[in-house]
Amino acid sequence: MKSLILATATVLSLTGMAAAADHEVKMLNKGEAGAMVFEPELITIAPGDTVTFKATDAGHNAETIPGMLPDGAEPFVGKMGKDVTVTFTEEGVYGIKCKPHLGMGMVAAVIVGAPVNLETAKTVKTPGKAGKKFEALLGGL
């Protein structure tokens, strides 16, 4: 009986691991949407998925924006010029910025499952072009 329970638990855990997906978002000096961008700028994933913010071009980082996180989510700050991989477990909208290029509009949105904090995320003020970029990214949700 113990071996049957152990075998069932192993199969269930492997099934759960297989369901999680890995995604990549590039940090670029120039992309399809212009200069200083994340590509893609908007990504929708499932809870438990991971996103690697790829330092394709030097001088960028990826970090969460205060106030643009769902309840219970852990903020993160990636190091300058380094990839950072994050597992997103809480459903909602995550605002992401490149700290040195925030005013230039270098932001992205990660939607995990249902955008439960969408209205709160829309009220967060960001400088320069970032605010207009978030209006465009989150406006259609």
Rounded to a whole number, what is the distance in angstroms from the first to the last CA of the chain?
Answer: 49
Mean pLDDT (the chain) is: 90
- Residues of the chain with pLDDT > 90: what percent? 83
Residue 130 is part of which domain span?
22-140
Q: Find the CATH number of the domain harbouring 112.
A: 2.60.40.420
Domain assignment present for residue 37? The answer is: yes
- Residues of the chain with pLDDT > 70: what percent? 87
Give dist(CA 9, CA 15) in Å, integer: 10
Domain assignment present for residue 4? The answer is: no
Structural domain tally of the chain?
1
pTM recorded for the entire structure: 0.86
Nearest to 107 by CA among 59, 46, 63: 63
**DSSP H or E stretch at residue 95:** strand 92-97
Domain assignment present for residue 32? The answer is: yes
19 vs 109, which has greater pLDDT? 109
Domain assignment present for residue 15? The answer is: no
Cα–chain center distance at 91 = 11
Domain assignment present for residue 14? The answer is: no
Residue 12 has a pLDDT of: 44
Domain assignment present for residue 76? The answer is: yes
Residue carrying the six token digits 């908007």: 42
Is residue 2 over pLDDT 50? no
Binding site for Cu cation, residues?
Answer: 60, 98, 101, 106
Domain assignment present for residue 10? The answer is: no
Mind listing the pLDDT tens digit for each residue in 61-113?
999 999 999 999 999 999 999 999 999 999 999 999 999 999 999 999 999 99
Residue 56 has a pLDDT of: 94
Binding site, residues?
Answer: 60, 98, 101, 106
- Band (pLDDT 50/70/90 cuts) for residue 18 is low
Residue carrying the six token digits 């969460």: 64
Give dist(CA 93, CA 121) in Å, integer: 7
- Band (pLDDT 50/70/90 cuts) for residue 9 is very low
Domain assignment present for residue 6? The answer is: no
Alpha helices in 33-140 (DSSP H): 118-122, 129-139
32: tokens are 């399809």
Is residue 29 over pLDDT 90? yes
Give dist(CA 62, CA 44) in Å, integer: 17
